[in-house]
Amino acid sequence: MSSERKFIENIWYAAGWEWEVAEADNKLARTICEVPLVFYKTEGGDYVALDNRCCHRSAPLSLGRIEGDCLRCMYHGMLFNPEGKVVQIPGQDHIASSMKVRSYPVECRGGMIWIWMGDPEQANPDLIHDFAPLSQPDQWRGFDKESYLHYDANWLLIVDNLSDFSHVAFVHTTTLGGSEEYAYDTKIENLEQLDNGYRVERWHRNSPPPPFHSKVIPENEQEQMLDRCNRMGMYLPGVFLMDTIFEPVDGEGKKDDSRPVREYRNCQFMTPETYNTTHFFWNYLHCDQLENDDISLSLKDSLMEGFMEDKVFIEAQQKLLQDSPDFVPRSFSADEALTYFRLRWNAKLKEENAANPVQPARENKKRIL
């Protein structure tokens, strides 16, 4: 068995939208970094994350019942508190200190539930990538229900996809890109290398509005050429945040009645379910005509169409890479950002493995089955 981690542990992972827990009767089973977890909402409104495996007979706690701030395993009735300790065993007064499951630090920001998979003492909430537009309904309008997709692919393949916008020209010609010229006329600018990821810009100047944008602007603007800017940040473990600006050609961000500047905000969170499967959370927000439901619906449909185009390629990549483990990819200049991100991921993972080596699992000779 490998003695090294597959995933960085001392970091915040996006775990799920609040509505996902609510729709699951305030109790959601979700695997993150190959750890089965149960999330539930207490009577007091807090979120709790526990190992989804009763310490008694390995029954899923996600099949349990919420009682106040506690969760009862409905196989034999043991009651777990938010710290994962058993506080009641039906028909038994003494409760051994070993009767417990692991509890994980959990925080909520802008409708997203975040979980810390590592040392609880290092779980600093200030390290969460709190995307401000998610909490600013008076300034930004997103979807009425934030979106979720499941990928049969490693999360880093999705990170690669979002880090290299040259694919937009070919994969999304008629949806998000607008033309193949995007790949020829643009390149990454102002790459800022960070300890936990990168920030970068990409401009497409004097270009027609792409299809997704054209659908939500007035007819008199649809033929006007624009300068388009994407300012992107990608942060460990897989947090993508982007500002998109459409402005008059050489407008330098100035608004006027005939050629307005229009902006969008985009967040996408890639969280490993297993090494080869991924939870993908996203929202796309605008600041124009916030009361107009049609704009959000149109943007959601357009972005979903684009993401499904990506999904075909990414999941096909995954299959080929699994079938060809000796494949060595070749790189070109557009790969600079994604290459740097992978270097930072590998460096952080190496640091954790060196600082706190994983102990090989000992065979458990007392088997239930």
Given a contact cutoff of 8 angstroms between Cβ atoms, the answer to whether 45 and 30 are in contact is no
Query: 12-126, what's its fold?
Result: Rieske Iron-sulfur Protein (2.102.10)
Domains of the chain, residue spans: 12-126, 137-352
Q: Token pair for residue 143?
A: 């979807």
CATH of domain 137-352: 3.90.380.10
pLDDT value for 335: 85
Please, which residues have CB within 8 angstroms of residue 207's CB and are 6 or more apart in sequence?
178, 179, 181, 182, 185, 225, 226, 227, 228
pLDDT value for 362: 59
- 159 three-class SS: helix
Nearest to 21 by CA among 80, 62, 75, 74: 62
The burial class, CB within 10 Å (0-12 / 13-18 / 19+), for 31 is middle
pLDDT value for 253: 46
- 46 three-class SS: coil
Report the chain's C-alpha Rg in angstroms: 23
Q: Which residue has the tokens 């902006």?
A: 263
Q: Which residue has the tokens 């402005």?
A: 247
pLDDT value for 251: 57
Question: Is-same-fold flag (12-126; 137-352)?
Answer: no
Which residue type sits at 257? D
Residues of the chain scoring pLDDT < 70: 1-3, 169, 177-186, 251-260, 361-369
Torsion of CA 183, 188, 194, 198, to 10 degrees: -30
Given a contact cutoff of 8 angstroms between Cβ atoms, the answer to whether 358 and 3 are in contact is yes
pTM of the model: 0.92
Q: Which helix (H) or strand (E) holds 302?
A: helix 293-323
pLDDT value for 257: 47
Count of beta carbons in the 10 Å neighbourhood of residue 97: 7
CA distance 101 to 80: 8
pLDDT value for 46: 96
The burial class, CB within 10 Å (0-12 / 13-18 / 19+), for 364 is exposed
- 25 three-class SS: coil
